[in-house]
Chain A
Amino acid sequence: MGLALLVLIWLITLISTYFFVAKTWWLPVGAAASAGFIDRQFTLTFIIMGIVFLAAQLGLGYIVWKYKETPSSPPVSYSHGNTTLEIVWTVLTAVLFIGLNLMGSNVWASQRFPREPDPNDVKVEVTGMQFAWYFRYPGPDGKYGATSPKLMDPSAGGEAAVGLNTSDPAAKDDVVTGTMYLPVDREVDVSLRAVDVIHSFFVPSLRFKQDTVPGLNIHMHFRPTAIGEYEIACAELCGLGHYKMHGMVHVVSQEDFDKWLAAREAEKQ
């Protein structure tokens, strides 16, 4: 029985570890400035936890096999523990866990902490509603026009869906789209809102996730670093269509972005 346990526990451990190490399934290729750090931190955490995992599970398997009771087993050592050992592993675990934690603080701060608005940032507003994403660009004036809940009409789509108040001068040049376009290598100042229930704007390739919450306007930053098309998947349960609340981010060159935005502005006139 001890041997059977050893075989089962070791097999489970080694098979599980294989798929992690072989990276059969892994984080999608990162396309944002924070990806390098996040992925390194993930790998570091993975290595440390992986070593503990292997040591604990393989050790468990070994112990149950080694110390099974047989007629010739020696008497057990009558011990209630070892205080020195307890202190050693308490301190080790504490240093390891807390140290690991502190390392991640910079990237968190750069993505999430409030900061002074920078005129060079690309401003985009993300609005989540059952079950679609809308993206609003403030236009040449750099200001978002007013919106009103009373004007919201999801069935009409576009700017009516987010309730844009077209009589507001600042709203005249606002562009509302169903697909997000971003220029590569520019800092994005994103404002996140929701009109009905909580949604979550999750773009795995850009290493970005943030809930959009009714009543809150949440500001964040990220910087896409590779041209490409990236999928958005809603990550907060928002109702029966949650699974199909899907969208796309197109990261393009600055030139293509300008062209695209100009074309949208032209459509409005």
Chain B
Amino acid sequence: MATAATVHSHAPQGFIRKWIFSLDHKVIGIQYFFLALTAVFVGMFLSLLMRIHLIWPAAVLPLVGEIKPETYLSLLTMHGTIMVFFVLTTAPQGGFGNYFLPIQIGAPDMAFPVLNMLSFWTTFVGFVVIIAAFFVTGGAPLHGWTGYAPLSALPSAGPGELLGADLWITSIAIFCIASLMGALNFITTTLDLRAKGMTLMRMPLTVWSWFITAILGLLAFGVLLSAGILLLMDRNLGTSFYVPLVVVNGQVMGHKGGSPLLWQHLFWFFGHPEVYIAILPGMGVASQVLSTFSRKPIFGYRAMVYAMLSIGFFGFMVWGHHMFMSGMSPYSAFAFSILTMCIGVPSAIKTFNWLGTMWKGRLRFQTPMLYAIGFVSLFVSGGLSGPFLAQPVLDIQLHDTYFVVGHFHLIMGVAAIFGIFAATYYWFPKMFGRMMNEPLGKLHFFITLAGTYAIFMPMHYLGMAGQTRRYSQFTEVAYQTKLLPLQTFITYAAIITISAQLIFVINLFWSMFKGPKASDNPWEATTLEWTTATPPPHDNFGGVTPVVNHGPYEYGVPGAAKDYVMQTDPATVATH
């Protein structure tokens, strides 16, 4: 560690080495953050087009033109892929994890700075490749973000399945490689570079969440990478991993003996842990922020750590619950279903503990706290539809309906986004040296929370009534046409909520240049990033090596001079 500190004690001076090909985890974190910000606006714009098309199918839009049924499917494929990979995986882990994990454990940088830089630029290339899919002949693929074979494996199965589909899977493969590099770095850094006194059980819950997420990433992305390479081979080299003998449009394809279910097993073996990759960092941030702004220690720190570990552990054993209707053995449904219910237990513990943290606290309602509270609310709402879908008999009715769309958007989409918002409002002062505007932040929160529920809660009603997902029109099935008024309501709610995100963008960029200067510890928080300068110097602690004497959430300690004890405060105050 000492050598690492000496090597990086001098910040590079040139613009390119400092801001483009930087080895500084803080700069790389900011690069990830802006990549994810770009991606989220692309993804959100696609969802806006989808919502408009569902209600006004004949609309001819500026720039986009007419949206055909196959265009709609391309939109949903690209929306899902961009959001899951380049937003929900990139922002919480690559962005905030990169920036704050080393500082929160008292390290001068990541363990492998060059690998870190490489990981970002590989992700960037992946993003460029997926965007390119829009512009090639045939356009973007229409097989959904899950890319079920044979649809995704046969260029003749539909428009968009030509070069666009190759670019889609190539982009995902590139992303996997980048994530593997990132995961190695996070794990090594957490295990090897902790400051003196920073025992595992003194790590902030954010660090635990990034650490566990990295382990999940290491185990999951390797599988997706292999699965993707096999898919590319099926598409281009005539292999038959996923494709049996099939006839498309009267033409016998050249494949034989492959298994469409193999793709689903491999994909969901990655895909389910991916859900936790997206949401675990949000849980970490929510815990950190709730404790800070309740001025109270986190309720059940150890239970929180064990809950995250068991969520990560069980997360690898439940992939089959995506496949109850797939033709997989009906016996295995029992095992997957029980294990899925087991995951509800640590999730429930976390919720209880968040409520327990606020109970009898002194709550301060700055914007990060509002988003953490919103996170808890969304996590509860999205989580409670899980036990419906985890039961195979109920899945008969609910699988592939809007009920599922509502469920996963609440729990892993918007809840994770609320985690990202909480993190942005919470750490912005440390990252950019200025405060964000509070009234704008609060306005943004209230519209976004109400809007989110207005969009996604009605989807549960639609799903119960049997509305199937991934339909570009509801005119062909009589019982579904009756549900159009509710779909119209959702579209209006989406237009309002998406527009309200401009408030966030204005706040972000305005505050970056014009916001009031931030102090070193504006929230009176306890973890290591608040002990150093704002923004932190190149080696994070200005040549000092922090020594940790206390746990991460020591608020309201009896006998202390202030209502909080920082992790580096002298050991004279008794905490436990």
Contacts and interface: CB of A to CB of B under 8 A. Distances in A.
B396 A214 contact: no
B490 to A, nearest CB: 12
A107 B259 contact: no
Interface in A187-223: 192, 195-198, 200, 202, 204, 207-211, 213-216, 218
Nearest to B380: A56
B400 A236 contact: yes
Contacts of A46: 388
Contacts of B338: 98, 101-102
Nearest to B486: A25
Contacts of A52: 380, 384
Interface stretch (A63-71, A134-142, A165-173, A254-262): A63-71
Given A53-B384, A94-B342, A108-B393, A240 B247 contact: no
Given A25-B483, A101-B341, A196-B157, A78 B297 contact: yes
B238 interface: no
Contacts of A24: 461
A237 B465 contact: no
Contacts of A5: 365, 370, 373
Interface stretch (B19-27, B30-38, B298-306, B515-523): B298-306
A100 interface: yes
* Among A26, A97, A129, A207, residue most surrounded by chain B Cβ atoms (within 10 Å): A97
Contact of A154 (B148, B250, B365): B250
Given A60-B355, A107-B393, A243-B69, A235 B468 contact: yes
B356 A209 contact: no
Interface size class of B (residues with CB under 8 A): 35 or more
A233 B397 CA distance: 12
Nearest to A195: B247
Contacts of A68: 362-363, 365
A2 interface: yes
Interface in A89-126: 89-90, 93-94, 97-98, 100-102, 104-105, 107-109, 111-113
A93 B380 CA distance: 14
Contacts of A97: 341-342, 344-345, 387
B477 A80 contact: no
A238 B149 CA distance: 10
B373 A64 contact: yes
Interface in B238-293: 243-250, 252, 257-261
A60 B73 contact: no
A12 interface: yes
Contact of B388 (A45, A75, A200): A45
A28 to B, nearest CB: 6
A177 interface: no
Contacts of A266: none
Interface string B52-80: 00000000000000001110010000000
B462 A56 contact: no
A200 B468 CA distance: 11
A152 B376 contact: no
A269 interface: no
Interface in A12-71: 12, 16, 19-20, 24-28, 34, 37-38, 41-42, 45-46, 48-49, 52-53, 56-57, 59-60, 63-64, 67-69
A85 B397 CA distance: 36
Contacts of A235: 325, 399-401, 468
A49 B458 CA distance: 17
Nearest to B352: A89
B98 interface: no
Given A236-B148, A246-B477, A81 B353 contact: yes
Given A25-B462, A86-B300, A78 B557 contact: yes
A80 B299 CA distance: 5
A263 interface: no
Interface in A233-252: 233-244, 246
A43 B547 CA distance: 55
A215 B258 contact: yes
Contacts of A107: 393
B301 A81 contact: yes
A73 B412 CA distance: 35
A163 interface: yes
A202 B468 contact: yes
Interface string B135-162: 0000000111000101100100111000
A42 B388 contact: yes
Interface stretch (B173-181, B213-221, B446-454): B446-454
Contacts of B197: none
13 contacts: A28-B465, A38-B397, A41-B391, A60-B380, A93-B344, A101-B391, A113-B331, A195-B247, A198-B151, A198-B260, A214-B244, A239-B73, A242-B472
Interface of A: 1-2, 4-5, 8-9, 12, 16, 19-20, 24-28, 34, 37-38, 41-42, 45-46, 48-49, 52-53, 56-57, 59-60, 63-64, 67-69, 73, 75-82, 85-86, 89-90, 93-94, 97-98, 100-102, 104-105, 107-109, 111-113, 129-130, 149-150, 152-155, 163, 192, 195-198, 200, 202, 204, 207-211, 213-216, 218, 231, 233-244, 246
Interface of B: 68-70, 73, 142-144, 148, 150-151, 154, 157-159, 243-250, 252, 257-261, 294-303, 325-327, 330-331, 333-334, 337-338, 341-342, 344-345, 348-349, 351-353, 355-356, 358-365, 370, 373, 376-377, 380-381, 384-385, 387-388, 390-394, 396-397, 399-401, 442, 446, 449-450, 453, 457-458, 460-462, 464-466, 468, 470-474, 476-480, 483, 486, 555-558, 563, 576
